[in-house]
């Protein structure tokens, strides 16, 4: 502590000397420029009105007219410059170091001899003033208390994790809102907003649609025959107390088809991808020549329902599996030409038609993006393209709502 005070005092003295030197240099500069230059001649007559050229010439002659300088002071009085330079250098070094000169002084070994009756070991070195010996020197297996004791965190207060009642607020969808950003703004998972509001396709969110926003994360679960609170809690890895408090279920009886809010639960990843329209990848990259829905037949002109997407691509373009699954059908149809059908999870099937070459067989398991065939124009076709159909539980659905 004393060393740091001394260093601060020395630094203050250095700064003071530096300031005095700066003031001296300023005064010296002012003295030289004020008294070493002669004022302009006053004996000559100067007209009251001058032309611009005359004024420029007069200013030039005045600025270059220098009188004889006074003799310099003796050099024996300039010793102070060396002192100022040393003080300034010491001050700069001090302020450039984080702790001044203290770290440098700590490295200087202290050689102190104990007075009579005093011990070399202070009380801090051991209990009762006993010295501390390293275990390796005494061949002992010693461990400090900090190493023997396991470091554990401090448990959070019980009220932080205590279940709370379920409350809802309303929000009206604005232009540009999407589920992901809304959930983030409310501090919730998008699974919560999707499940609570029964959203089956986030791409169909409408402006001015009113959403229910809960005060905690979770999903809705419809009670099935044979379900109990204990089985539901075990299924979603929650507690009976949380289910009873959130849903205000004081008796343990449940009614079939009753919706329960499961706090902290999440949707299945595949279900979330289906709802967000990220379930399938595009089997080919091209331009859509015919959308899903009603259209006029290119052969008969009769209005009929088109069960998939027609994607125009060059002949021989590789066709990829839109999602991993098992190949359940491979063959030729007079309308679809060479086709492949793949079964996926949750009752989904995809069909790829009008292929020129089939590069898989029935029973094979294919991964997402695996090459299953080449684009062509077999069957009833007006040119090389891919007819892509998606079935959900045996019924066609619009592939555009499921493609990334």
Task: Break the chain into its structural domains and give their ranges.
Answer: 1-35+77-106, 168-276, 287-401
Structure tokens at 129: 């003033």
Ranges 68-72, 339-343, 392-396, most confident: 339-343
Domain 287-401 in this protein, CATH class: mainly beta
Contact 282, 332 (CB under 8 A): no
Identify the pLDDT of residue 128: 43
Q: Mean of the pLDDT values across residues 273-292?
A: 88
Identify the pLDDT of residue 204: 80
Identify the pLDDT of residue 134: 46
Contact 242, 162 (CB under 8 A): no
Q: Mean of the pLDDT values across residues 41-56?
A: 54
Q: 111 or 119, which is more confident?
A: 111
Identify the pLDDT of residue 145: 46
Identify the pLDDT of residue 300: 84
CA distance 242 to 211: 24
Architecture of the domain spanning 168-276: Roll (3.10)
CA distance 132 to 120: 12
Q: Mean of the pLDDT values across residues 121-142?
A: 44
Identify the pLDDT of residue 118: 47
pLDDT-derived band of residue 56, with 50, 70 and 90 as boundaries?
A: low
CA distance 170 to 197: 11
pLDDT-derived band of residue 46, with 50, 70 and 90 as boundaries?
A: very low
Identify the pLDDT of residue 95: 61
Identify the pLDDT of residue 123: 43
Identify the pLDDT of residue 305: 93
Task: Return contacts of 161-166, CB within 8 angstroms, 24+ apart.
Answer: 163/239, 163/241, 163/242, 163/245, 163/246, 163/263, 164/215, 164/216, 164/245, 164/246, 165/245, 165/246, 165/248, 166/214, 166/215, 166/216, 166/246, 166/247, 166/261
Identify the pLDDT of residue 109: 57
Helix residue spans in 64-174 (DSSP H): 80-96, 102-106, 135-138, 145-148
pLDDT-derived band of residue 126, with 50, 70 and 90 as boundaries?
A: very low
């Amino acid at each position: 502590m004393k060393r740091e005070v001394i260093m601060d005092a020395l630094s203050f003295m250095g700064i003071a000397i530096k300031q005095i030197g700066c003031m001296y240099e300023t005064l010296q500069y002012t003295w030289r420029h004020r008294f070493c230059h002669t004022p302009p001649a006053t004996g000559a007559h100067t007209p009251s009105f001058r032309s611009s050229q005359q004024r420029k010439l007069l200013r030039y002659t005045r600025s270059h007219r220098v009188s004889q300088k006074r003799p310099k002071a003796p050099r024996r009085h300039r010793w102070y410059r060396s002192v100022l330079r040393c003080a300034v250098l010491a001050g700069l070094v001090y302020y450039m170091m984080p702790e001044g000169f203290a770290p440098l002084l700590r490295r200087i070994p202290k050689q102190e001899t104990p007075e009579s009756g005093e011990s070399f070991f202070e009380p801090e070195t051991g209990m009762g003033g006993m010295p501390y010996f390293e275990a390796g020197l005494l061949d002992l297996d010693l461990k400090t208390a900090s190493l023997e004791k396991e470091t554990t965190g401090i448990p959070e207060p019980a009220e932080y994790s205590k279940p709370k009642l379920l409350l809802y607020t309303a929000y009206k969808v604005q232009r540009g809102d999407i589920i992901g950003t809304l959930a983030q703004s409310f501090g919730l998972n998008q699974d919560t907003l999707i499940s609570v509001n029964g959203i089956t396709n986030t791409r169909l969110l409408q402006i001015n649609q009113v959403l229910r926003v809960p005060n905690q994360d979770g999903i809705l679960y419809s009670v099935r025959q044979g379900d109990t609170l204990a089985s539901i809690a075990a299924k979603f890895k929650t507690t009976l107390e949380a289910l009873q408090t959130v849903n205000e279920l004081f008796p343990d009886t449940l009614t079939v088809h009753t919706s329960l809010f499961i706090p902290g639960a999440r949707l299945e990843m595949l279900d979330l991808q289906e709802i967000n329209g990220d379930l399938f990848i595009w089997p080919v990259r091209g331009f859509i020549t015919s959308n899903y829905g009603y259209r006029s037949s290119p052969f008969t002109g009769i209005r009929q329902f088109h069960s998939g997407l027609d994607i125009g691509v060059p002949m021989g373009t590789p066709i990829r599996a839109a999602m991993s699954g098992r190949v359940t059908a491979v063959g030729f149809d007079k309308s679809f030409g060479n086709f492949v059908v793949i079964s996926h999870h949750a009752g989904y099937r995809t069909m790829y038609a009008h292929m020129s070459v089939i590069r898989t067989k029935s029973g094979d398991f294919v991964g997402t993006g695996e090459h299953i065939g080449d684009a062509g124009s077999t069957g009833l076709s007006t040119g090389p393209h891919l007819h892509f159909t998606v079935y959900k539980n045996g019924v066609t659905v619009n592939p555009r709502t499921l493609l990334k």
